[in-house]
Structure 1
Amino acid sequence: MRTPYGRRRFGFFPMLILLALAFITYVVYWLWNNVLVAVVPVKAVTYWQAMGILVLSRILFGGFKFGRPSGGPSFGAGAHWREKWRQMNDEDRAKFRSEWHRRWRGENKP
């Protein structure tokens, strides 16, 4: 009996993520030992220390956000907003622009 395509694909993604993590860790390791050691007075690091630096930088600068990045539309949502914008009349567009400017200037009071 053959496994469905979805199950084989599901097993592939964790392996792909681990492979990407290993590769990115190697890049951090290589850059640290070949660039920073020559430019800044720091010690060389091992592969596992490079992975620790990578995880620490993710915690400090990236946080633990899962899912799509906030602040932007999802992959298919751009077309939806373009269509909505085309259907607006001039008065609705002006109202939308003024509300958008009000929110981005930090004036959160209605």
Structure 2
Amino acid sequence: MRHNKRFIGLKIAGFVVLGAACVTALGFGVMLLWNWLVPELFHGPVITFWQALGLFILSKLLFGGFMKDHDKKNSWKRRKWDRMQAKMEHMSPEEKEKLKSHFDRCWGRKWQREEEPKPPVERQPE
């Protein structure tokens, strides 16, 4: 159990380091491109790393946004699940059962999507 927590901690630290490296690379990339092109072409100013990073963030906010696919309908998981459902529609019952048993062996029941709750059934008065 202790080994798992240590592995998760290392994984998180790795993502933090990778994220910082990507942000640094983006900042330096924008700075180098700006300082190479803008002063020569438009007689504009030379910018620093932090100004380049701010410029990048501003441009993402104005033109691209950071999270376009934030709603559930268009999420990556949803599209992947829909593709899997489409593939399963064309399978024979034997093929479906074989695939389900493979997932059960590998992942247990956690691979299954939670079903939407069904509305309560109204009972007829007796």
Q: If the length of structure 1 is used for normalisation, what is the TM-score?
A: 0.60
Q: Which amino acid aligns with 1:7?
A: G
Q: Which has the higher contact order (CA 8 A, sep 6+)?
A: 1
Q: If the length of structure 2 is used for normalisation, what is the TM-score?
A: 0.53
Answer yes or no: is the 8 Å Cα contact 1:68–1:74 preserved in 2: no
CA offset at residue 85 of structure 1?
Answer: 6.7
Aligned residue pairs total: 87
- Out of 78, 83, 88, the position equivalent to 1:79 is 83
Stretches of structure 2 lacking an aligned partner (at least 5 in a row): 92-126
Answer yes or no: is the 8 Å Cα contact 2:31–2:47 preserved in 1: yes
Which structure: larger Rg? 2
Aligned to 1:19: 21
Change (3 A) 1:71 1:53: farther
Aligned to 2:6: 4
Q: Which amino acid aligns with 1:28?
A: V
CA offset at residue 23 of structure 1?
Answer: 0.5
CA offset at residue 32 of structure 1?
Answer: 0.1
- When structure 1 is superposed on structure 2, of 40-49 and 22-31 the one drifting more is 40-49
| Per-residue deviation, residues 82-103 of structure 1 (Å, max 9, x unmatched) | 426748xxxxxxxxxxxxxxxx
CA-based RMSD: 3.2
Identity fraction in percent: 21
CA offset at residue 40 of structure 1?
Answer: 2.2
